[in-house]
Every structure is written in C-alpha cells, then in structure tokens.
Chains A and B, each alone.
Chain A
C-alpha cells in the first residue's frame, strides 16, 4: 500500500533527481499524531466580521499564537479568513489579497480555512454573488497551494456565529492533521448544536460505535481511529471475513459481530449486540460496500443488484431500524464516493449506490435530528487500499498524481479521520451533509 513514488521523490538522491527532471513531487501530508500541535506555526486571522474577536479568543484558548493582518516573517501554520459578513464581491479584495501576500509564509502542511455563509436563492444578487464567489476562490487557493497545504471552508447557515460548537469543531478538524486529505471542501453548519469534548485527545470517550465492513481497508482504519478517539467499537463484517474481523476487533479491544448486513434483521442484530454487550449504541458507520465494475453495456443483474443491495438498500433498512428504536443522539456516518458525485467509467451500479447514499443522508437528516442525532456521509476519492493495490502500477501512479491537488492518493486513515469528526458530538450541528475526502480531485470538481 505504500506509495513508492512518494517515498522516492522525497528522500535522498532520488529527491534531487526528481527535482532536476521536473517530476511532480507530491508532499508528505501532515497527518494527525497524538500530542502534536494543532497547527505547525502561528495563525493569521484575517477579516473584520463581528465574530473576529470571539474567534481569536477561542484560538488563543487553544494555545495557538494568533496574528491579525500580518504575520511578518513568522512561520505561518494557518490562515483563517472570516468572510461571513461580506455583502458584495468587491469586499473580497482586501482579505484575499492580504491572504495572498501571506501565502509564501505558509509552512508545508499549512491550512487556509474560510468562514462564509451559503448563497441562497432568496439572497440579494450581490450577496449571493460574493458568497458563491468564496466557494470558487477558496477551491482555487486549494489548487494553488503546495507542500501538502490545503484550503477549505466552513459555511455558517442563518446567523450562526463562527464560534458555535460545530463551527469550532469543524475549524479544529480542518486545522489539524486529521483533515490531511480534505482539500477544497466546505463544511456546512446548520445549527448551534454540539458540545466540545471533555478531552480533545479522546473526543469519542464513552461512545459505543458500530462499523460495518470493518474486516479490512477503510473499515478497519475507521475502527482503529474510533478506538483511538475513545470509542468502544463493534466491528461488523460478513461471516466469511470473520478471521480478519477478529484481528481488527482484538487489536482495538472491540467485539466482532459476524453479520451479513443485507439480512432483513441486520439493524436489529446490531442494536441488540451493541446494547446487550456494551450498554448503548451511539455511532453507526455504514462502511460496508462492494464493487462489481462493468460497463453498463455489459452489466448483468447480479452485478447491479448486489451492489445496490449491499451499498445502499441495506443502509436504508438498517436506518429504519435505528430510527424505530429511537436511539438517543445516534450519529450515523455513511460511506459515499466521489464516483457517486462525478461518475466513473464502469461504475454505473456503484455510482448509483453511492450517489444514493448522498441523497439518503440529506433526506434522513431531519428524522435523525428528532432524537438528537445526525446523519452525514463521507465521499472518499482515490484511497490506497488492498483493493486499489491491485490496480496496475502505472495506472495507479497516474490516478494518484494527475487528478488531485495533493498529487497523491489518500490513505484509509484520512477517510477515518473525517468519519471520526462527523461522528463526534461536537459536530452535531452538521447534518445531512456529504464531506469529500479526495485531496481535491478533479473528479467531481
């Protein structure tokens, strides 16, 4: 699974050679390391909106060094752009140019994060223009950044302040190494719900989480990450994958539940196991999925139907069971895919299921919110797994480098971090959304 190319162009002789030849040099991404600082340098907070001081205070409270207007020659870890109170496109100029002049000081693995408001059909045209413009400009900054730095945005609905719990949780996530492969994305905060964790190092402490498809790949990484963040994890996979599943469970002191999630009683089995064995069910990660790729022209019913059954129908059925059980504060995170957004040749069935996930979470949000819960999706792009390791080397290398801004494939941990964030109570204000973890792949814009 290791990206040999990435290793070669970043070390010793081959690093020099790659530079001389002008080969693209994807950076080693800044990923989360327990105990490491949240931001690798000072934070430059730009923008004059009314929430600026409150936000600066929060950042200081997090132990960060905060600068307004300019950071001079200091190592710059992040640039935060408060753009939530702009009223017309012309007002973008000042903060964006300030940010531009500071970009050279941004360290590798640095972050640009904007705060803005959604552009709505009911907005005045100029207001909608600046708000939609922020979307375009931040994504473009993401494309411009090098050295594993990323640019993302937080979108505050209605009149939510930048310091509502979920906005702060989103900011922490985007500033941290947890969001290493999230680039050019916007996280929309719908409510002021959410509570910051008691311990930032264990945001899921005391939670019981179920991860389906957890025997290997992204599912195993999710299970590891949720465990690392303090959750008790029930790992689920088909009985035939039970040996690999047991290894995952034993590594994270969880319990293994061998279960075919397409069974009608799968939701009930999961609830029964979690509650009888661990006392509650707080988090469900719908990760189980299969691919049965074929051009539509050659597609057969078995391929189409099995993908739909496993990837989306099972989730719909399980969600009904979870809702019927009225589990308080249940956070569901479902695995979508950039294929479900931008499409992918040979994956008409898979894309239908993954697009389906995006629609499902959007349409289920209200129902889950009723019991204090939420449901969101994460759409991974090209992730290096055992499955992708089987793609021929040349194809794989091209897919990694040419498509995303970050010029490399993501790792399962990158998906897992995004899921862990959305599954946390601090993110309760985010509901019905899909977050892409794709390194700002061209796929799906």
Chain B
C-alpha cells in the first residue's frame, strides 16, 4: 500500500445487488434504465435494511441514455425506499462507468467526505434512445427559434422526407466508425489468439457461472426482475463443439483468419447493478457486513485512433501502474476478475502481460508482468456468460469479487474493465 493510502481510512464493500442480466430485446424490452436501476437499488435497500436512510451519495450512470434521463441516478433514488435526502449524480465512462462511480465513491469515503455510498450503473440496448435525424433535428431547432410565420415556413421548407429516418445509437467508435468487435479482431489477431483459446474461455465462463448459481452463490447478489431470475444469456450446457460451429461475427475482413464469433463475444444485454460502500464506522453502526476493502483503482487510456494500441488494451497499462503504486506483482492476487468484453480481450491482455517486448516498450518495465494462475480467473463466470449491460458490469464485478474474497477470508483480487474510447479501469480489493 502506498504512503498516501496508509494515512486514510478504508472504504469497505458492504455488498451488492443486481438484477439478472437479459439479452437485448428479450425479457426487459419494455424496461427503461430508470426502471431497472430502481429495481436494483430497491433490492439493495431490502438486503441491507436501508429504508428511509440518507446515503452519502448514489453515483452511477448509463452509457446509452435518453435525454429525459439527464438526472438518471437522482430520479431513480426518488423512486426507491431510500431517504429522499440522498444526493445522487450521474457518471459516464462507457463500459467503465460502474467502476468509475464505485472507485470515486470509495475515494470520498477514504477521505472522510462520505460515510456511505452506492455506486453502479445500468444499460439497456432494448429501450435505447433513438434520435431524429440530424436534418429533422436542425429543422425542428430552427422552427423553435423562428419568431415569424415566414421564418417558420422557411424552417419547414428545409424539411426533406429522408429526414424521417431515425438515428439509433450504434456501438461503433465515433472516431473510427468501427465496431468494438472489429477493433478487437485486430488486437486478437495481433496477439495470435486462436479460435480454440477463445472458445475455451467462453465455455469456462458459462460453466463457472452455472456452477456459481448451482451453489447459491448469487442468492445475496441478485434480485429477480420482470420475471427473470437468472442471466438469460447463460448457457450452462454449452460445449466446445457448439461454440466451434459458430461463424465469425467480427473481423470478417480477415477471412479465414477471423476467430471472433457470437459465442466468444459478449452479446448486447440489459441490466443494472449497484454496490453499497461505507466506512468501517458506518458498517458497524448499521450492523452491516464488511466483505472487502476497496483498496485502489486506476484508469488508463490508449491512442487507438492513430493505431498506437488496440482499442480495449488500456487495462493492460492501468494494471502496470496500479501494481507499481501498491508495490505488488501480478501474481499477488487470489482472484482475477477480467471483464470479458470478448474472449479475445482477456486473452490479448494476458498475452501482453507475458510479453517481454510489450512490457518493456509499452509499459516501460524491466521484466514482463508474467502469467497468472488461470484457475483464479473469473472463477464464478464473467461477461461472456452473464452478459454485459455496459455501465452495469462494474457493479457486478465489485460485488462478486468482494463476496468471493470474504468467503475465502483472506487475500486480494484484481478487477480489470476495458471501455470504449480506448479506456479502462482496474481496481484492487482486499478480503476482510
């Protein structure tokens, strides 16, 4: 632990809650971000008896957000049993939204600014905002500015029938026009990650998640929603043969070398998750469990626009920095929670950490960070099986890891989440 970290008090993960994640345009088609987040918060409130309490702050967000949801977190809080005196604010850092929200709350708790906080996120690609076309938008804006009838007519005259086609949000990177999967396909190929390795990781994710459900691991981590009690993407009966039969979905321009399929990539998903954090005092006063300390977190970003690095490789850099700051090695962890945006993302990141050139030239290290014990990786499944409602993944990871550490009773865990825009956040938790 760094000098600075020693002089401040711990921020404790008390517990978490999420609703089951559901594949896009499925069970939650008619649920809004606010609906899902409210349900996740209500489940958390019920689990920890927070009714009527003023929480220090509720922080989180959504990646795909309607303009009416400008105050998404606050509006959600007002719909829960929490005290209406609980402040809330929105955070957005693409797929790392949840991690940023939780990490920043932890910092405020460490500094003594907050006694408690709830961090998390929500996303729906089913109830996604659809904007009017740029042409129609400009006509409408000009119309609203027009004062005279003639000015209004002039504005209307600019309308063209093609402007009626709406704009739905894509998952493409704005600056490159490429989908995240196509970006990752380049990285996957650059690191020579095989199709089989990706399929094996995907299979392990499904098997691990199914086993976790089987041993009731999620009983105090999930509250059902809209009739869904389990992540709908989970395929516990999947096999390598089934995965091998899928056609490539990304990097198709690689032809025969394309390795990324719908099976080893995360599907679009709807869902919400939240995590309750507090000071030790807060936890003791309210007789709440203390699962783990939120030790530290680090964000990184890479220049993928100019081809300097793969879009989803930022966590590889963030990990190097957080390890140095905390005087740890990559092997000093009992659990690794590496968000499976794509199987290729996880495997490319692991390969990079083992690669002497990468670690020397990109990370500026004398020696590679090295390999991890793969039996400690995503041991209760991850995004390939559970799904990945963008902003909700951070909360899922923190709550899951904190519980695993508490069950073990000792040790520490590493979280790594990549995000759009060439960003990523990593975090360290310690058992209590």
Contacts and interface: CB of A to CB of B under 8 A. Distances in A.
Determine whether A and B are in direct contact in the complex, meaning some CB atoms lie less than 8 angstroms apart: yes
A253 interface: yes
B132 to A, nearest CB: 35
Contacts of B356: none
Interface in A382-396: none
Contact of A250 (B51, B225, B287): B51
Interface stretch (B95-103, B122-130, B213-221): B213-221
Interface residues of B, number: 24
Interface stretch (B37-45, B301-309, B390-398): B37-45
Interface of A: 235, 239-243, 245-247, 249-251, 253-260, 263, 276-279
A253 to B, nearest CB: 4
B216 A239 contact: yes
B46 to A, nearest CB: 4
Interface string B197-239: 0000000000000000000101110111100010000000000
A212 to B, nearest CB: 14
7 nearest interchain CB pairs? A246-B46, A249-B46, A256-B46, A250-B81, A255-B49, A253-B51, A242-B223
Contacts of B51: 249-250, 253
Contacts of B81: 250-251, 253
25 contacts: A239-B218, A239-B219, A239-B222, A239-B229, A242-B223, A242-B229, A243-B39, A243-B43, A243-B223, A243-B224, A245-B223, A246-B223, A247-B46, A249-B46, A249-B51, A250-B46, A253-B51, A253-B52, A255-B46, A255-B48, A255-B49, A256-B43, A256-B223, A276-B287, A277-B288
A254 B229 contact: no
A271 to B, nearest CB: 14
A211 to B, nearest CB: 14
A242 B289 contact: no
Contacts of A251: 81
Given A249-B45, A277-B288, 16 more contacts: A235-B46, A239-B216, A239-B229, A240-B224, A240-B229, A242-B224, A243-B39, A243-B224, A246-B43, A251-B81, A254-B46, A255-B47, A256-B43, A258-B220, A260-B219, A277-B289
Interface of B: 39, 42-43, 45-49, 51-52, 80-81, 216, 218-220, 222-225, 229, 287-289
Contacts of A241: 224
B49 A277 contact: yes
A251 B80 CA distance: 11
Contacts of B80: 250
A242 B229 CA distance: 9
B426 to A, nearest CB: 31
Contacts of B46: 235, 245-247, 249-250, 254-256
Most chain B CB atoms below 10 A, which of A246, A257, A278, A279? A246
A136 B84 CA distance: 57
B49 A249 contact: yes
Given A249-B49, A250-B51, A242 B216 contact: no
Contact of A253 (B49, B219, B220, B287): B49
A258 B223 contact: yes
Nearest to B289: A276
Contacts of B220: 257-258
Most chain B CB atoms below 10 A, which of A241, A250, A253? A250
Nearest to A263: B216
A258 B49 contact: no
A239 B224 contact: yes
Contact of A246 (B42, B52, B287, B288): B42
B219 A247 contact: no
B288 A242 contact: no
B118 to A, nearest CB: 15
Most chain A CB atoms below 10 A, which of B39, B47, B81, B218? B47
A240 to B, nearest CB: 4
Contacts of A260: 216, 219
A254 B219 CA distance: 17
B47 to A, nearest CB: 6
A278 B49 CA distance: 10
